[in-house]
A and B are shown apart, each in its own frame.
Chain A
Amino acid sequence: MVSLDYKKGDGVYARGTDLNYPGEGVEGTPQAPKFFEFLKSELLPKVDAKYACDTSKRILFGHSLAGEFVLYSMLDNATHPLFKKCIAASCSIGLGIDNYVFGLERQVATQVSDLPVTLYMGVGNYVGSATIMHQEFYNRIKSRGYPNLKIGFKTYPEQHGTDPYPIFRDGIQFVFSN
């Protein structure tokens, strides 16, 4: 497992830069496509060179703004998904300026006929619109009828700080199940 974090004090600023896509702008200066390029061309080659990895079983897991990043990067690379297994936990859906993730999903639907990805989404059933926005995203992408999209969604009696654990646990089981 490779975990990406920031040094103490840099987290809030850096995550707003690295994980936000242009058009969303929850916080910081959005540079997520650059961050995705860093994963693709720098980090993964290094990891693959150092360890014996089965690249077909790569999983991208993200929570909160990183959960939104998982959805964006999956949609942004819909024609050639780098990560064919994704777990998006308690994403920042509904917190951006204009819910750009819905616009991107609609745009992708006009461009591709299939999305060969296994996606597990989860959200803590906490106060606010987060749960219904996750449900709406799940309904929309599922209604496209992509033949090779395997998708799961579940709500949890948890909150934003505690829901990563059960979502990751269930997500791992989901993406590796038949």
Chain B
Amino acid sequence: MKNLLFIICFPVVLIAQKPSKTFEKINTKWAVQAGFCIPEFYNLGYELNANYYPFSNKWVRLGPSVQLNNFYIVEKEWFPSNNIQKARSSEFRLNALFNLEFIPFKKSSFYIGFAPYIGYQVLNNRGNIRNAKEGIDLDWNYTISTFDFGTRYKLGGFFGKKQQYGLEAALQMSNRGIADDNPLSKFFNVGLPTYKAYVSLGFVYRIK
């Protein structure tokens, strides 16, 4: 029983013994992030963020950030077909976010955050479909450009002696559906290329 108590208590004691300077160390001003994104069911992507926090104290950080997203389609044959199809889809998004990050624990750099964003999206989709039997040989090349807005929900924390490196997991989604006149569009609208929703896991580097 004593051993068991020791096993349970030891990590707690270790956490409690973390340096009390934690808050000075995580008083972040500038940070950059790179993350891998898993959006809706048919594409993949990555994100780059640059964050600036003009206001921060023990419990909260506030500030804007700039985000660049790239998403691409992973080719997949959804239905068996005699068509020969080659397609490529690439999407870029440039977003401006405003971060609100809360640091709930006194002795830990763990944070939870929320960030509304506005942005611009350019989606290019091109390809070719052929079916000799039906005399089909068609090329397509579409570009969709739209404004977008939405929200990002995140949690993360810093680690290392200088608390300079961190990890952040986030869920980001377009919320444009609430502003259009289509009753089928919703606040959360998975599947639409212009209504991006994704989860990301990113690496954070605190510059200052």
Contacts and interface: CB of A to CB of B under 8 A. Distances in A.
B194 A157 contact: yes
A102 B81 CA distance: 14
Given A97-B82, A136-B136, A158-B192, A125 B142 contact: yes
Interface in A128-145: 128-129, 131-133, 136
B189 interface: yes
Given A95-B78, A97-B80, A97-B81, A127 B138 contact: no
A76 to B, nearest CB: 17
A94 to B, nearest CB: 6
Given A96-B79, A103-B133, 13 more contacts: A95-B79, A99-B134, A126-B192, A127-B73, A127-B193, A128-B125, A133-B129, A133-B136, A136-B136, A157-B144, A158-B192, A161-B192, A162-B185
A160 B42 CA distance: 14
The A contact surface, by secondary structure, is: loop
B182 A158 contact: yes
A103 B182 contact: no
B7 to A, nearest CB: 48
A157 B147 CA distance: 12
Contacts of A94: 81, 83, 129
A162 B182 contact: yes
A129 B85 contact: yes
B19 interface: no
B73 to A, nearest CB: 6
Nearest to B124: A127
B131 A165 contact: no
A121 interface: no
Q: A125, A128, A157, A165 — which one has the most chain B CB atoms within 10 A of its CB?
A: A128
Nearest to B82: A98
B129 A129 contact: yes
A32 B134 CA distance: 22
Contacts of B142: 125, 131
A: interface residue count bin: 20 to 34
Contacts of A26: 79
Given A129-B127, A161-B192, A96 B81 contact: yes
Interface of A: 26-27, 94-99, 102-103, 125-129, 131-133, 136, 157-162, 164-166
Given A99-B136, A132-B138, A136-B136, A162 B192 contact: yes
15 contacts: A26-B79, A27-B79, A94-B81, A95-B79, A98-B81, A98-B133, A98-B134, A99-B134, A126-B192, A129-B83, A129-B138, A133-B136, A136-B136, A136-B138, A160-B191
B95 to A, nearest CB: 19
Contacts of B89: 127
Nearest to B81: A97
B19 to A, nearest CB: 50
Contacts of A27: 79
A131 B191 contact: no
B184 interface: yes
Contacts of A133: 129, 136, 138
Top 5 nearest A-B pairs (CB, nearest first) are A159-B192, A132-B140, A102-B134, A162-B184, A129-B129
